[in-house]
Structure 1
Amino acid sequence: MSHPLLPRLVEARVVPVVRTRTLETARTAVAWLREAGFRTFEITLTVPNATALIAELARDPALLVGAGTVRTAAEAYACCEAGARFIVCPWNEPEIVPAGRRFGALVMLGALTPDEVVEALEGFADVVKIFPAASMGGPAHIRALRSVFPDVPFCPTGGVEPGNLRAYLDAGAAFVGIGGRLVDETLIAAGDKDAVQAAARAALAA
Structure 2
Amino acid sequence: MHPLIPRLAAARVIPVVRTTRPELAEHAVDWLRGVGITVFEITMTVPDAPGLIRRLAADPALLVGAGTVPDRAAAEACLAAGARFLVAPWVDAAVAEAAHLRGACALLGAMTPTEVRAALAAGADAVKIFPASSAGGPGHLKALRSVFPDVAFCPTGGVDARTAPDYFAAGAAFVGMGGRLVDETLLARGDRAAVEQAARDALGIVQA
- TM-score, normalisation: structure 2: 0.97
Give the corresponding residue for 1:120: 119
CA displacement 1:85-131 (0-9 Å, x = unmatched) = 00000000111111111110000000000000000011110000000
CA displacement 1:165-198 (0-9 Å, x = unmatched) = 1111111000000000111011111111111111
Alpha-carbon contact 2:65-2:86 (below 8 Å) kept: yes
- In the TM superposition, residue 144 of structure 1 has moved relative to its aligned partner by 0.6
RMSD: 0.6
Please state whether the residue corresponding to 1:129 is helix, strand or coil. strand
Q: AA paired with 1:133?
A: A
Confirm whether residue 94 of structure 1 aligns to residue 93 of structure 2: yes
Q: Which blocks of at least 5 consecutive residues in structure 1 are unaligned?
A: none
Confirm whether residue 184 of structure 1 aligns to residue 183 of structure 2: yes
Instruction: State the aligned residue count.
Output: 205
* In structure 2, distance between residues paired with 1:47 and 1:189: 14
* In structure 2, distance between residues paired with 1:38 and 1:20: 18
Please state whether the residue corresponding to 1:79 is helix, strand or coil. helix
Please state whether the residue corresponding to 1:124 is helix, strand or coil. coil
Q: AA paired with 1:76?
A: A
**Structure 1 ranges of 4+ moved more than 2 A:** none
* In structure 1, distance between residues paired with 2:182 and 2:132: 18
Give the corresponding residue for 1:24: 23
Q: Which blocks of at least 5 consecutive residues in structure 2 are unaligned?
A: none
* In structure 2, distance between residues paired with 1:141 and 1:120: 17
For 1:49-128, list aligned pairs within 5 A.
49-128=48-127
* In structure 2, distance between residues paired with 1:198 and 1:137: 28
CA displacement 1:57-79 (0-9 Å, x = unmatched) = 10111100000000101111110
For 1:195-206, list aligned pairs within 5 A.
195-206=194-205
Identity of aligned residues (%): 61
Please state whether the residue corresponding to 1:95 is helix, strand or coil. helix
